[in-house]
Amino acid sequence: MISLSSTVDMLNAMSAARRVTFSSFALFNGPVKKALKDAARRGAHVTVRLNGYAYNGGAIPARNRDAARVLRAAGANARVVHVSDTDGPGLHLKAAVCDGVAFLDDRNWLQVGDTVIRDDNPSDVSAIRNAASYHPARCRFVQLDKETALQHECALLRSSAGHAIDVATEEIGFSSIFYALEELARHGAHPRLMISSRGLCGKYLTAAQMLARAGVRVRVSAQSEKFAIAGCKRAWVGSANATSTTHDAAQLDWGIRTGEQRIVHALQSRFRALWNDAAPLAARRRTVKTARGSGPA
């Protein structure tokens, strides 16, 4: 069964699990890292895979290498993967499998503001464990690579003409989600799009501006969740960003379409809160320019 959960629920499951398989794009200092270390120290079989690629020169790979060293010292099988463009698919999957239950997070296990899904379907759990171990995997209900995850999100949007459409993503690129939103807007649907302030640069900013001109209502949030809601009954949630899959279609990621009403209603509430606290794209862009211009050279 697939249900709404939380990082706290995942940590509770990890505290008693004999076998833990964990993956994340980034692992920060805090309760999750401590729980992995504690599980390894008490003798659980702990496997951890973390992203090793420096996107835009970021510091995450170095942080992940340090985390892997700490976890190995505690007895875990921990390492960074995908350290270059040529050594396998990217790792963007946020998953934790604790014995026979899998947990999937749309962010990086930050505890506040994440959307976490619990899945105890045996075939799903097996596939998610393989993916979190950095192996390609497929199952019926959960998509475990970026391309397939976005295909399912796009299918939800394209089949929802006449319904209210809300999409949250960290960045919007020239992806299938971009073109679906553009088409909906041009047909008078006026979908809403929430992007992260991290997405206000380069081609991602250009894509957001183009959607705004097409009639999509775009706002900017400090958060970076990833989900879509169609009407009141269907939703998609995952870790895949709505960016092009030209270079990273096989990236390990996750996504799921659901009609489970508790999940749909929770996503509606979350989107409403984000939307109310966010700034329109144009206003936010002016603020960013002003702040940059007033700072030191």
In this predicted structure, what is the pLDDT of residue 284? 54
Residue labelled with tokens 């957001």: 208
Backbone region of residue 69 per phi and psi (left: phi > 0; alpha: psi in -120 to 50; beta: other values):
alpha
Instruction: Show the domains of the chain with their CATH numbers.
Output: 2-141 (3.30.870.10), 146-294 (3.30.870.10)
> Which pLDDT score, from 0 to 100, does residue 283 have?
57
Q: What are the pLDDT tens digits along the chain (297 aa)?
A: 999 999 999 999 999 999 999 999 999 999 999 999 999 999 999 999 999 998 776 789 999 999 999 999 999 999 999 998 888 999 999 999 999 999 999 999 987 778 999 999 999 999 999 999 999 899 989 999 999 999 999 999 999 877 899 999 999 999 999 999 999 999 989 999 999 998 899 999 999 999 999 999 999 999 899 999 998 899 999 999 999 999 999 999 999 999 999 999 999 999 999 999 999 998 555 444 433 333 322
Q: What is the predicted pLDDT for the residue at 288?
A: 44
Range 284-294 burial, b when 16+ CB lie within 10 A, else e: bbeebeeeeee
> In angstroms, what CA-CA distances link 220 with 186, 224, 283?
21, 10, 9
Please give the C-alpha separations between residue 73 and each of 11, 37, 38, 70, in angstroms, as whole numbers: 21, 9, 11, 5
Q: What is the pLDDT of residue 291?
A: 36
Predicted local distance difference test score (pLDDT) of residue 161: 73
Please tell me the predicted confidence (pLDDT) of residue 287.
47
Q: Are 141 and 117 in contact (CB under 8 A)?
A: no
CA 165 to chain centre: 19
Report pTM.
0.92
